[in-house]
Amino acid sequence: MDSESIREIERRALEAIAGAGGKEELEEVRIRFLGRKGEITAALRSIGTIPAEQRPAMGKLINSISNRVTASFDKKEAELSGASAGEEPYPGDPTLPGRRRWKGGLHILTQVTNDIAGIFKGMGYSIATGPDVELDYYNFEALNFPEDHPSRDEQDTFYINRDILLRTQTSPVQVRYMEKHDPPVRIISPGRVYRNETPDPSHSAEFFQMEGLFVDTDVSMVDLKNDVTKFIKLYFGREAEVRFRPHFFPFTEPSAEVDMSCFACQGEGCSVCQKTGWLEIMGAGMVHPNVFRYAGYEKDAYTGFAFGMGIDRIAMLKYGIHDIRQFLKNDLRFLGNFWKQKI
């Protein structure tokens, strides 16, 4: 045992440590050099065999080598554990459960709108939109509401000036769309509408509608009934019955109100349907020839149907919500009920 062969052990040990690719390999290296029967340990033990006067120097040398190899080993071990040298340990209690990250969800009216739109998209409808701030022309005149006609009073309108208003219905999108597109036209148009109403549990000055319009060369009332019934059964359940009641709208002729059998009592009569067994779902009818004329369509060339429903009302029926004002209060305790992930 001489100092040269000791240094040779150190060289090999440092090389082996540097070359270790994983913790297991490193452990093998440690055992090989620093273990009970390791080379450095054996060198220390062999000190007894050399002349007494050389022992102190040799002991010092082997100890310093042992220290350097141990330090190199520790460093490599830390590296392999992914902790870089000098990093502070996590100051908190790492065993505490994590805090869930706050996550919102879609407004219930957005969800209902998407669900309804999804059904109509599946039936070939595409989505069209129009402005909230609308011309009197599109909101009334082109929809065949004559000027000074009492039917305008039924929709208490927020006027901005004589010609401009907040739309009271999504029906103006019908004319706007037909002005730009020739038949076949098959659209739905969801959006916000405004009426000067005193808010109460069933009235709001702002609410949402979904308009529908289908125009082609041979569209009939049968097609209207077919699409509306399909929608109601897909959205509320196949057992829902649908009925059309004659009604009046200026922009459709004939016009109807559409009812579905009450899902709460299956038509028996209960508090949800005010004992009638029926729930009013939408207005509908065959597009009035005057509306086609305003839209610039060739006379008598086309027929079509239209329908319009209140999205808020549908959401209230579907989810048992009793106050329409909840929708726009932005109270997360209400809105959070409808999120996929609860808050």
Query: How is 79-114 classified by DSSP, letter by letter?
Result: HHTTPPTTPPPPSS-TTSPPPPPP-----HHHHHHH
CB environment 40-58: b (16+ within 10 A), e (fewer):
bbebbeeeeeeeeeeeeeb
Find the shortest distance in angstroms from Cβ 178 to ligand DAH. Answer: 13
Is the CB of 177 or the CB of 307 nearer to ligand DAH? 307
> Residues with Cβ < 8 Å from 151, sequence gap 6 or more?
145, 250
At closest approach, how far in Å is the CB of 240 from ligand DAH? 20
Nearest distance in Å: CB 307, ligand DAH: 5
Instruction: Give whichever of 38 and 212 is closer to ligand DAH, judged by the CB atom.
Output: 212
CB of 187 to ligand DAH, least distance (A): 11
Q: What are the residues binding ligand DAH (CB under 6 A)?
A: 169, 171, 211, 249, 252, 283-285, 306-308
- Of 235 and 249, which CB lies nearer to ligand DAH in the complex structure? 249
The least CB distance from residue 115 to ligand DAH, in Å, is: 20
> CB-side exposure of 244: number of CA atoms within 13 Å?
18
Q: Which residue has the tokens 């459960």?
A: 97
CB-nearer residue toward ligand DAH: 60 or 203: 203
* Side chain identity, residue 314: I
Nearer to ligand DAH, 40 or 187 (CB): 187
**3-state secondary structure (DSSP) of residue 195:** coil
Would you say 226 or 266 has its CB closer to ligand DAH?
A: 226
Residue 113 near residue 190 (C-beta atoms within 8 A):
yes
Contact criterion met (CB below 8 Å) for 255 and 291: no
Rounded to a whole number of angstroms, the minimum distance from the CB of residue 124 to ligand DAH is 18
Q: What is the largest CA-CA distance in the chain?
A: 126
If the CB atoms of residues 20 and 324 are measured against ligand DAH, the closer one turns out to be: 324
What is d(CA 200, CA 71) in angstroms, rounded to the nearest whole number? Answer: 78
Which H or E run contains 256? strand 252-261
- Distance of closest approach, residue 151 Cβ to ligand DAH, in angstroms: 10
The minimum distance between CB 309 and ligand DAH, in angstroms, equals: 8
- Scored b (16 or more CB within 10 A) or e, 281-305 reads bbbbbbbbeebbebbebeeeebbbb
Main-chain phi, psi angles of 279, to 5 degrees: -125, 130
Q: Which amino acid is at 319?
A: Y
Nearer to ligand DAH, 297 or 307 (CB): 307
Own/partner contacts of 117-122, CB < 8 Å, gap of 24 or more, are: 117/188, 117/190, 117/210, 119/230, 119/231, 119/234, 119/235, 120/188, 120/212, 120/231
Between 43 and 306, name the residue whose CB sits nearer to ligand DAH.
306
CB of 267 to ligand DAH, least distance (A): 24
